[in-house]
Chains A and B, each alone.
Chain A
């Protein structure tokens, strides 16, 4: 990771007649290669990934960075089941007027919760056409959560679905999947 230092503002010396609030910052601001401040980049974090099967049971659960409360495995199971139910209900309470499909096309199905904001984290939910849900917990500043969760889905397809010893809808215990996810989501 390249880190270049830049000075915030100009390099002029403050004049004696200026009030204190126009004094320039003494130490340089450290900038990341992407142009954001290092402190901002450090805040963009993926906390955890949960995978829920078609029936609402939790099949994969892993934390990548601290930031969420420590819950035991039972709590995660309950959480997954609760979210599965809420996802279904959020589909039925949709108040939007239904969009008229073009003649000959099937009406597009209503979707459930795709993203949820709270003050400490953001939850992105990606539902595959087969009913498997990927829940990604990130910090609220994390951009491109859609791309991240889709990449997780690709990794799942590569290492779990193509694994001949994996039974569908069962808990995921595939070492290559864990390693690939770790390489993608854990920051060194």
Chain B
């Protein structure tokens, strides 16, 4: 019962906050490591930059996935239908959207139940309190400016720890 990662996207479709609780491992079907017989381009890019690009790519992939799924759900269920979550064999993705089109996405273990109330809590008690009401944070958050302040991060860590106590 664990949380793997947490993302916040704003209404301009930008990722304004990312938090991971696990190292990202490349899926088994991906390319071999750069020390193998690969093109020269991949060998020149340092590992740190590649990891950063992979994080960005992940966020973009996740946003694209939920955007398409949301559109599909609206098409099938009507304009008032809402996409809630999906589950694969390895993880479960929970989705919560506020009326201001702020999207909170959490990837957890498969066995976790409905996290909608948890995401609502994170938004109402942590994001609104520490980010929206902060006098130093700007109204818009291009590239995540102003979101990752200490109070929000600390509050989020404590909240998640209290919900999912780490397994021994």
Residue numbers of A with Cβ under 8 A of B are 68-69, 71, 75, 79, 82-83, 85-86, 89-98, 107, 109-121, 137
Contacts and interface: CB of A to CB of B under 8 A. Distances in A.
Given A85-B68, A110-B29, A117-B84, 10 more contacts: A75-B75, A89-B65, A90-B65, A90-B93, A91-B27, A93-B62, A114-B87, A115-B86, A117-B85, A117-B86
A109 B29 CA distance: 8
Contacts of A115: 86-87
Contacts of B76: 68-69, 71, 79, 118, 121, 137
Interface stretch (B17-25, B44-52, B133-141, B157-165): B17-25
B27 A94 contact: yes
Interface residues of B, number: 39
B4 interface: yes
B123 to A, nearest CB: 18
Interface of B: 4-5, 20, 22-25, 27-30, 58, 61-62, 64-65, 68-69, 72-73, 75-78, 80-91, 93, 107, 109
Given A89-B65, A117-B84, A117-B85, A111 B90 contact: yes
B107 A95 contact: yes
B28 A95 contact: no
A110 B90 CA distance: 7
B90 A116 contact: no
A120 B83 CA distance: 9
Given A95-B22, A116-B69, A117-B85, A69 B77 contact: yes
Contact of A96 (B20, B81, B85, B91): B91
Given A68-B76, A116-B69, A97 B22 contact: yes
B84 A111 contact: no
Contacts of A85: 68
Contact of A119 (B25, B75, B81): B81
Given A82-B72, A109-B28, A89 B64 contact: yes
22 contacts: A82-B72, A83-B72, A85-B68, A86-B68, A90-B88, A91-B27, A92-B27, A93-B62, A94-B27, A94-B88, A95-B20, A96-B91, A96-B109, A97-B23, A98-B25, A98-B27, A115-B87, A116-B85, A116-B86, A117-B86, A118-B73, A118-B77
Given A117-B85, A118-B83, A94 B91 contact: yes
B87 A95 contact: no
A93 B58 contact: yes
Contacts of A119: 77, 80-82, 84
